[in-house]
Amino acid sequence: MSKSRRNKPIYMATVVPGLENIAFQEICTKFPTAGTVDSQKGKVFFHYENSYKDLFALKCVDNIYFYIGSFGIGPHKVDLLQVESKIKSLNVINRILQIEKDIKGKRIIVSASRSGKHTYSRFDIADTFLDALLGYHFFVRGTVEQHDLAFRVDVDKDKAFLHLKLTPPTFRFRGKDREFLTGALRPSVAHSMVLISEPESTDVFLDPFCGSGTIPYERSFYDAFAILASDISAERLEVARKNLPEYIGINRWDACNTEMIDNSVTKIVSNLPWGKQIQVDDINRLYVNFLKEAKRILAPGGRMVLLTDEENALFTAAEINGFSISKVCTISLHGLHPSIFMLEK
């Protein structure tokens, strides 16, 4: 790493595993001066020189942390005795002063994760790091409900990574006012799917299985000719109506039989029912009939970005309806491993 790069603050963003590349693309597009550093499963590391608050514009990530530093750590409980001196050598206070000017008297908490074989728990790690950080007289002990700074320690096999959390708890849910139903997507996943569709201001955009409206909501961050949301369930559309801006057209339609005219839609982005949280009688038939309708309403060159873990049903339906289909990525979500697919007419 060059000297100038070494002095730039490094940030770590957590993402749904599988979406690391899409998050990197969003970072580089929104912040051309940011430099990517590394990625691990569910995490991307990058440099950024200006105020970290700019980074809150990122929408494919779940949380953003300031990376303080890392050091080697042994597998036994006795190895935790070295944490205090290792934290001192990280120069924690100077590192934090790179981004926060006023840290005196701040109430702190520490959370920890652990992967690998160790004879200590993640709670032992959190307690040890908290005690070590309280050794700096700048800090006082906080609580989960009341704190100013939240540190995060990730022990991955023989290395400990120390971070400071920057994003508030509401960040990943786009504020508190939205209602999320069973089967609702995480906003960061919905946003990644929107970016994969390559939003254009001329788009006529449709989510025909919109549920509570998470995907159309994420699409509303970009210009479009029209954004439409539909679902078969009146109850779900009730929630979508509360969640979505008024200019988004909301309709109660069966996705296999919409009222859109032929060749009128440029992009369809949707989280299909997978037959798990949302019960469906016959997934195969639903996918075949939906893709038949999609073929009718999509404009030539139109694109679909779909999420499901019913890969075979989707490939079969794509073949029957003459769509070219490719897998963009597989993600980890609620213990399942659905994929994002791109289909072109």
Shortest distance (Å) from residue 232 CB to ligand SAM: 4
- Nearest approach in angstroms of CB 293 to ligand SAM is 9
Q: How far apart are CA 34 and CA 12, in angstroms?
A: 12
Neighbours of 245 (CB within 10 A): 10
The CA–CA distances, whole Å, from 342 to 21, 22, 155, 269, 317 equal 16, 14, 36, 9, 13
Candidate list 139, 271, 304, 318; residue touching ligand SAM; CB under 6 A? 271
- Closest to 83 (Cα-Cα) out of 73, 91, 75, 68: 73
The secondary element (H helix, E strand) that includes residue 122 is: helix 122-134
Asked if residue 139 binds ligand SAM (CB under 6 A), the reply is no
Token pair belonging to 80:
């935790």
Smallest distance from ligand SAM to CB 278, Å: 5
**Counting contacts by CB under 6 A, is residue 183 touching ligand SAM?**
yes
CB of 239 to ligand SAM, least distance (A): 8
- Does 34 sit near ligand SAM (CB under 6 A)? no
Return d(Cα 304, Cα 291) in angstroms, integer: 10
Residue 135 contacts residue 86 (beta carbons within 8 Å): no
Name the token pair of 135: 């050794």
Q: Which of 209, 287, 323, 341 binds ligand SAM (CB under 6 A)?
A: 209
Residue of 93, 134, 181, 320 that binds ligand SAM (CB under 6 A):
181
Site map (CB under 6 A) of ligand SAM, residues 286-315, x = contact: x-----------------------------
Using the minimum distance from each CB to ligand SAM, give the nearer residue, 95 or 276: 276
Biggest distance spanned by C-alpha atoms of the chain: 70
List the one residue from 96, 160, 185, 291 that touches ligand SAM (CB under 6 A). 185
Q: Using the minimum distance from each CB to ligand SAM, give the nearer residue, 62 or 154.
A: 62
Length of the chain as a residue count: 345
CB of residue 22 to ligand SAM, shortest distance in Å: 17
Does 231 contact ligand SAM by CB under 6 A? yes
Task: Look up residue 184 and give its DSSP letter.
Answer: P
Residue 320: CB atoms within 10 A of its CB come to 14
Q: Which of 37, 256, 299, 320 binds ligand SAM (CB under 6 A)?
A: 256
Residue closest to ligand SAM when measured from CB atoms: 211
Rounded alpha-carbon distances, angstroms, from residue 280 to 109, 264, 286: 44, 28, 8
Q: Is 43 in the site for ligand SAM (CB under 6 A)?
A: no
Chain residues that interact with ligand SAM, rule: CB under 6 A: 181, 183-185, 208-212, 214-215, 231-233, 236, 254-256, 271, 273, 278, 280, 286
